[in-house]
Amino acid sequence: MPTLDEVARLSGVSRATASRALTGDAKVKDETRKRVKAVAESLGYRPNRAARSLASGKSGVIGLVLPTLLLSDDPYGALLIHGLSDAASRRDLGLMLWLTHQEPGSTVREIFSGGIVDGLVVSATALNHRWVEPILDGGIPSVLLGRHPSRPDVHHLRVDNLAGARLVVEHLVSLGHKKIVTITGPLDRVDAVERLQAYRDVMEENGLTVTDDMISESNYTPDGGLAAMARLLPLKPTAVFCGNDQMAFGATEAIRLAGLDVPTDISIVGFDDFPDARSFRPPLTTVGQDIALLSQRAVDRLAELIADPSLPPEDVILPAKFSIRRSTGAPPSQ
């Protein structure tokens, strides 16, 4: 494995110049740079990341911290990883990954504090995940995905849950539905709370009363959605707003099990617009987060932050995208 020294020697320049020539930024005579690059190429030279990192204080690697659940129970994690990987490699950054279970784990702290990453994308959907705090306190430039209300000092990036949820509920109202129920995600999650709030708001604005039994808390899974829908069915709703697509899938199942049809008897809307929503039967009306965009923006922001850690925290809200498909229709005329 050739070192920079050898490249320098064979190019007839000093190590300093060789470094400058290869790094690209500083002033080096064009001819020199070309010569050095040629030598480096012919030697198959690759800079040693550790040495570079030690000398420069930058590792060229960013990290993603993701609750395990978001990867295993949900397409979200995979999509996010996909998006971040693309965005990072576009900027020539490496990507490290930490899946966090409930415990913060000494691991988490230790790894972070070693300068192994220049910055962190933290997906923190749960209000009270204990590992979030130590990470944010670690002094590493971080971008938080999803809102974490207790930390106004941190950079946020999130999709407009409230406006997004309003879109789908308003869509139901505009179709003429009056008896609209909702299945929420776990209410210790910010997004679940916000989506519920949007539901309440829209209902109230349209003079539709919401009683407690019209709200069924669940867990963002198909099975949970099925069970929740079963609880809701006796109310004879004509439409359901599900806190995510997964639960909408389960709810659809429950409706069919009851001998009813979607959307003839009951209209159903979800949230997320993950790939499955499109191929579902019937294709699901839902409102989506553009995760590729989210990832891109997260990395962009992080890069800025790494360049200048003193940047004031911002709370960036991305618009949600609404897709009307075939799971919604007018309420039965009866």
Partner DNA sequence: TTCTAACGTGAGAGCGCTTCCATTTCAACT
Partner DNA sequence: AGTTGAAATGGAAGCGCTCTCACGTTAGAA
Q: Given candidates 9, 32, 109, 261, which one binds DNA under the rule CB under 7 A?
A: 32
Identify which of residues 26 and 97 has a Cβ nearer to DNA in the complex.
26
- Contacts with DNA in 138-197 (CB under 7 A)? none
- Contacts with DNA in 37-76 (CB under 7 A)? 45, 47-48, 51-52, 54-56
Identify which of residues 194 and 245 has a Cβ nearer to a copy of itself in the complex.
245
Identify which of residues 19 and 238 has a Cβ nearer to a copy of itself in the complex.
19
What's the closest the beta carbon of residue 276 comes to a copy of itself, in angstroms?
A: 9
**Among a copy of itself, DNA, none, what binds residue 98 when CB lies within 5 to 8 Å by partner kind?**
a copy of itself
Could you give the CA distance from residue 319 to residue 289 in angstroms, rounded to a whole number? 8
Q: Is 1 in the site for DNA (CB under 7 A)?
A: yes
- Contacts with a copy of itself in 241-260 (CB under 8 A)? 253
Cβ neighbors of 301 (< 8 A, separation 6 or more) are 143, 155, 157, 314, 316
What's the closest the beta carbon of residue 115 comes to a copy of itself, in angstroms?
A: 5
Q: Is 309 in the site for DNA (CB under 7 A)?
A: no
Could you give the CA distance from residue 147 to residue 182 in angstroms, rounded to a whole number? 22
Could you give the CA distance from residue 118 to residue 141 in angstroms, rounded to a whole number? 7
Q: Is 10 in the site for DNA (CB under 7 A)?
A: no
Window contacting a copy of itself (CB under 8 A); options: 19-27, 91-99, 163-171, 264-272: 91-99
**Among a copy of itself, DNA, none, what binds residue 253 when CB lies within 5 to 8 Å by partner kind?**
a copy of itself
Total residues interacting with DNA, rule: CB under 7 A: 30
What's the closest the beta carbon of residue 254 comes to a copy of itself, in angstroms?
A: 12
Amino acid at 291: I
- Contacts with a copy of itself in 276-295 (CB under 8 A)? 279, 281
Q: Given candidates 8, 39, 81, 154, which one binds a copy of itself under the rule CB under 8 A?
A: 81
Total residues interacting with a copy of itself, rule: CB under 8 A: 45
Identify which of residues 30 and 92 has a Cβ nearer to DNA in the complex.
30
Window contacting a copy of itself (CB under 8 A); options: 23-31, 111-119, 140-148, 264-272: 111-119
Cβ neighbors of 114 (< 8 A, separation 6 or more) are none
Which chain residues interact with DNA by CB under 7 A?
1, 3-5, 12-17, 19-20, 22-23, 26-33, 45, 47-48, 51-52, 54-56
